[in-house]
Each structure stands twice: as structure tokens, then as C-alpha cells.
Structure 1
Amino acid sequence: MRPMLATPGDPRTGPPAGASWAHEIKWDGIRVLADVHGGRLRLLTRSGRDIAVALPELQSLATVGEDLLLDGEAVTMIGGRPSFSHVVDRVHTTSATAAAQLARTRPVTYLAFDLLRLDGLDLTGLPWTARRSALEDLLDDVPGVQVPPVFDDGRQLLAATGEQGLEGVVSKRRSAPYQPGRRSPDWLKFPHRDRRSVVVGGWRVQTGTADRLGALHVGLPVDDGSGAAARDDRGRLRLTYLGRVGSGLAGRAGDRLQAVLRQVPVAPYPFTTDIPRPEAAGSTWLEPQVVVDVASLGITPGLGRLRQPSFQGVRPDVAPEDLLEVAP
């Protein structure tokens, strides 16, 4: 099963008002489905990767029941606020020994916000209110797991989360079923900053260096007209160009990303439109395999380029094809 996704809300009007909507804090973490069956826990990212070995502190979920499926967010709190970079580092861990050490020094909390299956019963067709009530009863006092609060006033919550430096608000229609894999208007997201996932199609060297990472060329998959991602004659994704990302690549973050990109095969130019020669100079084009998050001031009208983008982190939990639905 793939998680239900939220549709961007209208920032001019803000979260919807009225008793038919509930509002939650939008947490800056990694979306994870927690699947328990026969005493075994799988922690599944949006791409379907099982990261249970990386998060041993969440094994308490395996004791909650014999058969259940939860939707939630894995977060790492630093100074009382979620740190996206810290939780991404945890997700990359493949060594059980290293994961156990990190669980002690940089623990993850699982914020469970939906219950999709219990004791063999599919609950996705029930209204959100029924699933939420069952969730609260089920996850009472489970170590490492919390059920985040729900608020009635979304606009007040949006203002409060902005003051506290949190990511934003998700508004959910109380009567709505859970729609796996669908981006639904029954869930609306209102982030405080424009952060999006994009695909790396290449990189260019830093000026004055021979091989140091200076900027990323990024884009989004193109629809081939049938609802699938367009590919070239060798099966490689074709991307709409969204521009270069140079900010946020200094220091360890850039070094770690460059190590990831060195493992990606070099490939022909992957974008559907040509870019000016000066922008392409010193660039290496890659197979469109790596997804990263960038923060920006939005998209420049007409040009379709990210405005002042900055690198936020690699998203090993998201596959490039997952981004087709949000391509412009």
C-alpha cells in the first residue's frame, strides 16, 4: 500500500474553517508506513523501502498487535524541533550496530496519525474520525510512539506553527476515507515555506576547482500523455528543467551528496529543453535516480525555474517516478 498524499492548499485563504475539518501539525520528517504482521515490524518509506533496521527504537510497535498498519512520520527532535537532516541521516543507516548507537544518541519518534488495518480488517473505507478514535485507543503509552494532537482552528494553528518555526499545517476532512496512493483534496497542506522534492539530472563543478560539487541541475518527470513518466529509448526518465541549486552544498552536506552522486551512472542530457551553454559548462549529466529536497521562493512565472533554491537533503524514501504527480 502507498500512503495517501495531501493537496497543496490555497495560501491566500489558509486552512478551511468549520466543524467538518480537523487540523494537525505538519512534521518535518520521513513519511513511514508501520506494518506489523505476526510479530514482525516493517517500516516502509514512500518508495517501498523497509528501514526497520535503521530505527530499532521503534520495535515497540511490533508488540502493539498481531496485525496492523499505521501511517505516520518518523522525526528526530533537536532542541524541541524536528530536524529533517538528522532523521535523513538515520534513514541512511544500514548497520544494525550503528543504528543501535544512533538510537541512543539521536532517537527517532514515530508520530502516528492514521490507522489503516487492524486484526485483518481494512479500515481505509471508514471516515477519518473513526480511524482516529481507534488509533488513540490503540497507541496509548507505546515507547517511542506518539499520536500527535488535533486542533479545531486551522488558521490559529498555522499562525502558531509559524511563530514556533514548525513546517506548517495539514487539514483533513473528518468524513473522508483513506485513499492509498492518491493526492486528495480531502487532505490539504499549508507549509510555511515552499519545499519540494526534485530529481537530480546532473551536477557542475564549483568555480575554480577540478571536481568539487558546485551546483545541481534538477527537474521533475514529464508525463508521456498517458499518466506515466516519459522515458527515452533506453528507458531513462525525461525531466522538465527547474534550474540549478547551488546554495546549501557547502561543508559536510555537499561532501555527503557528492559521495551519493558518484555512485550514479553518467548518462546523456536528461532534460526536455536545452539550457544556455554557460549554465551547462563544467556539468556532468546523470541517470535520473537521486531525489533531493530543496527550499525556494517558488517558481518564476514564465521561466519555470526555482527562485533562490537551497539544498535541504537527499530523499532516499522517495523514487523519482513518485514526483510525476506534482510536475508542472
Structure 2
Amino acid sequence: MRPMLATKGTHVPTGAEWSHEVKWDGVRILAEARGSDVRLYTRNGNDATVAWPELIRSEAAARDLAVDGEVIALNDRGIPDFRMLRDRMHLRRPADVARLALETPATFMVFDLLRLDGRDLTSLPLEERRALLTGLDLGGSAWQVPASYDDGAMLFDATLQQGLEGIVSKRRSSRYRPGERSREWLKFAHRHRHSYVIGGWRPQEGTSDRLAAVLVGEQTAEGLLYRGRVGSGIGGKVSAQLAELLAPLARADSPFSDEVPRVDALGTRWVEPRIVIDVDTHGVGYTRLRQPSYQGVRHDLVAEDL
């Protein structure tokens, strides 16, 4: 079975016919339990059971059921972060899986119930499926049932302030349609704009002087901490302007207080951390910026202002 998918929405719907949930930044998983056997599947139908051993030990395993949900893990700021799961997604060796399961424990946020005790529930309205799911009482296990809310605007604002990924709004009457992208489920992702300091730049591939991306950091009590590489939004004219600004600031070593990943550091031209730019990004509270987009130089700010 393939999961039902949400359509990107333009405005959060209102009214009693809609319920609203947190949009989790994780890995979409369908799970089946038959007695003591629990199997986990990706959205493409691949068996991912071996990658998540802590998720197959659940009170739900005693029932015959199928559920839909999102596997999440928290970063060091307590925010669900997909990148915390990347090292685990494709592991197959039991020793490696067990080690990372201890280092980065996962939680299965179950938001829909598709089968229970042999009964196919996909033709039932969402509201009835959710009531049955809540009745399973999964609290205390690695499977959790996140709350749903009546006030979408409130949830949208709350998740924005908390640095979460966004929300999903669902019609209470919606049937579960495997593999379909439906307008009865609408998703709303947050975008945030913040200021960061440039600590280096990378040339376009095949060139030595044409700026393609900048490496940015956040001013903290521990110094300038690396937050990622920004290339989106830097076109020809912007590239030339940034290159001119950064040329007099060249230095031999990294200005970041922490280690820059090798994939980002290789070929980077380091600069004194003087230039502040605004970056539009998907979500806050992450160690590295999510889907960052360059928005412009802040000529009214210096690094110390941050």
C-alpha cells in the first residue's frame, strides 16, 4: 500500500469540517502488525523494518493492524529534524543499526489507522479512523498518537513560533485513498527569514572566481557556529556583487568556531566574518539551515549586532 498524500495549500481552512495536525519533519512510514510480527514500509513500498528496531517493539504489535505515520528524531535543540535520520535510513547491518538506535532514538508519530483486527478502515471517514486510533492507547511506547486540533490558525502560529515544519489540515469526512494526492488533505510549510554572517564562499564548478554559494554562521556565545551553505537566490548579478564585497576580506583559515563538514569546506575561500545577509529558510531550530535562499545583504547590520 502507498500512503495518501497532501496537496500544498494556499490558506489554512476554517470550519468544523476540518481538523489540523503538526507537519512532522521525518520519514513517512506505513506499518503493519500481525500478532508479534511488525513490518515497516517506506512511501515507495520498500521494507524498512531492519532500520528501525526500536519501533517494532510496541504494544500495538499484539493487534492485527495497519497504520500510517512519520518516524522522527530530535536534534540537539529538541526539534524534529529529518537530517538526524539520514544516517539510519539505509542501514542494514544489525550492529550499525543498533548503535545508531541508541545514539539517535526514533519515535513513530502515528496519525492514521488503516486496518484493525482484520477490518479495512480506509473507507471510513477520518474522524472515525482517528477515534479508533486514539482508543488503541499507544502512550508509553515508541509509537505515539499526536494530537489533532480544531483551530488551524492557532496551530499554524504556534508551530511557526516553535520552529516546527508546518501543519496539515484534513477534512474530517475524508476517506483514505492510498497513493493519491488529495485536496482533502492540505499541507502548509513555514518559511523564516533571519540574518547570518558570511564566513566563506565557493566558486562555480569549473571556475575560480565566479561565486556560486556562501557559507554562513550564527553568532553565539561560543563564537561563529556554522549553519550551512546558501546558493539558491544567488544569480549572476548578485554573484558579482557578493564577490566584490568579499574580495578584501579574504583569509587563510576558517572563521567558524566549529568544524565545517568536509563536503562544504573543500574548495571554499574563507573570509573575515563581516558581511551580514538575510536568508529565507524552511524551519528554525535546526543545526543546519533547511532549503535556504539568499535574500540580500544587510548594510544596516554588522556581525556584532547579531
Instruction: Sort the TM-score into its range (normalised by shorter chain).
Output: 0.5 to 0.7
Deviation larger for 65-74 or 21-30: 65-74
One-letter identity of the residue aligned with 1:251: P
Larger Rg: 2
Q: Show structure 1 runs of 5+ residues with no match.
A: 195-203, 209-213, 216-244, 256-293, 298-306, 309-328
SS at match of 1:82: coil
Deviation at 1:115, TM superposition (A): 0.3
The reply on whether 1:90 has 2:88 as its aligned counterpart is: yes
Deviation at 1:75, TM superposition (A): 0.3
Deviation larger for 178-187 or 139-148: 139-148
Aligned to 2:221: none
Deviation at 1:88, TM superposition (A): 1.9
> Which residue, out of 26, 30, 33, partners 2:30?
33
Aligned to 1:99: 97
**Contact 2:123–2:176 (CA under 8 A) maintained in structure 1:** yes
> Which residue, out of 120, 133, 136, partners 2:134?
136
The reply on whether 1:18 has 2:15 as its aligned counterpart is: yes
Runs of 4+ in structure 1 over 4 Å off: 204-208, 252-255
SS at match of 1:131: helix
**Contact 1:193–1:295 (CA under 8 A) maintained in structure 2:** no
Deviation at 1:17, TM superposition (A): 0.8
Q: 1:40 to 1:254 in 2, by over 3 A?
A: farther
What is the CA deviation profile of residues 190-215 of structure 1, one whole-angstrom value per residue up to 9, with x for unaligned ones? 10139xxxxxxxxx84645xxxxx99
Map residues 176-195 of structure 1 onto 2, 5 A cutoff.
176-193=174-191
SS at match of 1:36: strand
> Which residue, out of 153, 156, 173, partners 1:155?
153
The alignment-based identity, stated in percent, is 49
Q: 1:28 to 1:126 in 2, by over 3 A?
A: same
One-letter identity of the residue aligned with 2:158: A
The reply on whether 1:124 has 2:122 as its aligned counterpart is: yes
What is the CA deviation profile of residues 226-247 of structure 1, one whole-angstrom value per residue up to 9, with x for unaligned ones? xxxxxxxxxxxxxxxxxxx956
The reply on whether 1:3 has 2:9 as its aligned counterpart is: no
SS at match of 1:81: coil
What is the CA deviation profile of residues 55-91 of structure 1, one whole-angstrom value per residue up to 9, with x for unaligned ones? 1110123753342111000000122210111112221
Aligned mates of 2:183, 2:29 — CA distance in 1: 21
Deviation at 1:187, TM superposition (A): 0.4
**Contact 1:30–1:88 (CA under 8 A) maintained in structure 2:** no
Superposed CA RMSD in Å reads 2.7
> Which residue, out of 79, 82, 86, partners 1:81?
79
Paired residues in the alignment total 215
Aligned mates of 2:264, 2:124 — CA distance in 1: 45
Aligned to 1:295: 291
Q: TM-score of the superposition, structure 2-length normalised?
A: 0.64
One-letter identity of the residue aligned with 2:45: G
Aligned to 1:71: 68
The reply on whether 1:61 has 2:53 as its aligned counterpart is: no
Deviation at 1:127, TM superposition (A): 0.4
> Which residue, out of 143, 147, 152, partners 1:145?
143
Q: 1:205 to 1:170 in 2, by over 3 A?
A: same
Q: TM-score of the superposition, structure 1-length normalised?
A: 0.60
What is the CA deviation profile of residues 78-108 of structure 1, one whole-angstrom value per residue up to 9, with x for unaligned ones? 2221011111222122211111111112100
Q: Show structure 2 runs of 5+ residues with no match.
A: 193-203, 214-229, 233-259, 266-289, 296-306
**Contact 1:7–1:183 (CA under 8 A) maintained in structure 2:** yes
One-letter identity of the residue aligned with 1:91: M
SS at match of 1:53: helix
SS at match of 2:169: strand
Deviation at 1:251, TM superposition (A): 2.4
**Contact 1:172–1:187 (CA under 8 A) maintained in structure 2:** yes
Deviation larger for 91-100 or 119-128: 91-100
Aligned mates of 1:206, 1:84 — CA distance in 2: 32
**Contact 1:139–1:145 (CA under 8 A) maintained in structure 2:** no
Deviation at 1:138, TM superposition (A): 1.2
Q: 1:53 to 1:163 in 2, by over 3 A?
A: same
Q: 1:252 to 1:184 in 2, by over 3 A?
A: farther
Aligned mates of 1:146, 1:9 — CA distance in 2: 26
SS at match of 1:60: coil
Aligned to 2:239: none
Q: 1:207 to 1:43 in 2, by over 3 A?
A: farther
**Contact 2:6–2:182 (CA under 8 A) maintained in structure 1:** yes
